[in-house]
Amino acid sequence: MLKIGELTLKGLNRRTFEDQLLKDLKQKLKPLGNWQFVLSQSTLQVIPPDGEIDMNEAYARALRVFGLSGVSRALRCEKSMDVILEKAPIYLENDLACARTFKVEAKRSDKSFSLNSPQICESVGEKLLDAFAHLQVDVHHPDVTVMVEIREQFAFLHAGQARGAGGLPAGSAGDAAILISGGIDSPVAAWMMARRGLRLTAIHFASPPYTSQRAEDKVHKLLAKVARYAGRIELYVVPFTQTQEAIQAHCPEDLFTLIMRRVMMRLAQAIAKEHRCKALITGESLGQVASQTLQALVVTEDVCQIPVFRPLIGMDKNDAIEIARSIGTFDISIEPYQDCCTVFTPKHPRTKPKLAQLQIAESALDLDKLMADALAGTRKHVIES
């Protein structure tokens, strides 16, 4: 039993979002068998095929589908009070065996059912108290909430509801390109914007021999974690060594990082436009490092003609770490393999840069050639969900 989240607030285009949600859900569950899907109001019934099915894996996959606010494992049974009372103690045994308190809630969509909601709760509650002598009723703070839903064709029993991934269905909001490093923040930014319905294209800058193959492999592993939620991601690895060496040789040291970031944004924008992405995404957070002061962000974004989304901009580092742990990227992010952002880091970076200073410094570079060479050497990879 899957609860649809904010899609219920949509108007005439709600069906488009529901179709995208169903497409994503079917894709995630397809390897586990031929499932049936029944959409009724704000609830989606997902019925497993006959035979042995890994329901634990199906449940885990459903929890990673954007657009769902809640996920429950439920028993579908005949819409009869006798059957419900017979099945409830058996199906709910594992949930109630270790609980101390419980309550029963009922939802009666079929108003022709013989009992009303309070009567259903009373009957099921008495049956469970008889079956589990250690249980007590607590209507305010129960350990377990038992749900009985009487719908059009069947009754459903389940014990509580896990929080779904939320947000909007993957791909329903369009396409954007994420500048992905091997750190904590950019995979979190990717996940956050995918949660808002964006289909992701990833761009990573590699600087061998200053960065290793393991650093690039790390990015693949991070994106694989994000792809479990966001679906298929195309990754473009841009060779950046020549550009960084040119900046080091010809530009003031205190401006190095900012000029590097500006070139990255130019290259990312070129790749984004080629692949119909309408925005860039970064993992920047205001004031976190020298290149993320307000002034630095302004001069970095100056080279862009498409929007730049920074979902972490107002976050504390611990906020990002908490999300990284929850989506499974944190342990990968802290693996000790450098990315190109740590190469040639200036001792005293400029924190309040002026745009004119950067433009003068950049005039010493042959940007057209550097960018053309980098784009020509870009490699494509596909990260599957």
Q: Residues 256, 365: one domain?
A: yes
Q: Residues 224, 326: one domain?
A: yes
For position 121, which CATH number holds? 3.30.2130.30
- Residue 169 domain flag: no
pLDDT score recorded for residue 345: 84
Decide: 380 and 234 in contact? Cβ < 8 Å. yes
Q: Residues 200, 88: one domain?
A: no
Q: What is the DSSP string of 139-177?
A: SSS-SEEEEEEE-SS-EEEEE--EE---SB-TTTTEEEE
Which domain does 321 fall in, by range? 174-383
Query: Can you give the pLDDT of all 385 residues of the chain as single tens digits?
Result: 999 988 888 888 888 999 999 999 999 999 998 999 998 878 899 999 887 889 999 999 999 999 999 999 999 999 999 999 999 999 999 999 999 999 999 999 889 998 999 999 999 999 999 999 999 999 999 999 999 999 888 999 999 889 999 999 999 999 999 999 999 999 999 999 999 999 999 999 999 999 999 999 999 999 999 999 999 999 999 999 999 999 999 999 999 999 999 999 999 999 999 999 999 999 999 999 888 999 999 999 999 999 999 999 999 999 999 999 999 999 999 998 878 777 788 888 889 999 999 999 999 999 999 999 999 999 999 999 7
pLDDT score recorded for residue 121: 97
Q: What are the phi and psi torsion angles at 92 (to 5°)? A: -95, 5
pLDDT score recorded for residue 187: 97
- Residue 309 domain flag: yes
Q: Residues 294, 227: one domain?
A: yes
pLDDT score recorded for residue 172: 93
- Residue 324 domain flag: yes
pLDDT score recorded for residue 342: 77
Decide: 165 and 205 in contact? Cβ < 8 Å. no
Q: Residues 83, 192: one domain?
A: no
Q: Residues 189, 281: one domain?
A: yes
- Residue 167 domain flag: no
Residues 6+ apart with CB under 8 A from 84: 77, 120, 124, 148, 155, 157
- Residue 166 domain flag: no
Q: Residues 61, 106: one domain?
A: no
For position 235, which CATH number holds? 3.40.50.620
Q: Residues 291, 267: one domain?
A: yes
**SS3 label, residue 307:** coil
- Residue 272 domain flag: yes
Residues 6+ apart with CB under 8 A from 299: 258, 262, 353, 354, 355, 358
Closest to 120 measured CA to CA, from 98, 101, 147? 147
Q: Residues 254, 141: one domain?
A: no
- Residue 23 domain flag: yes
- Residue 100 domain flag: yes
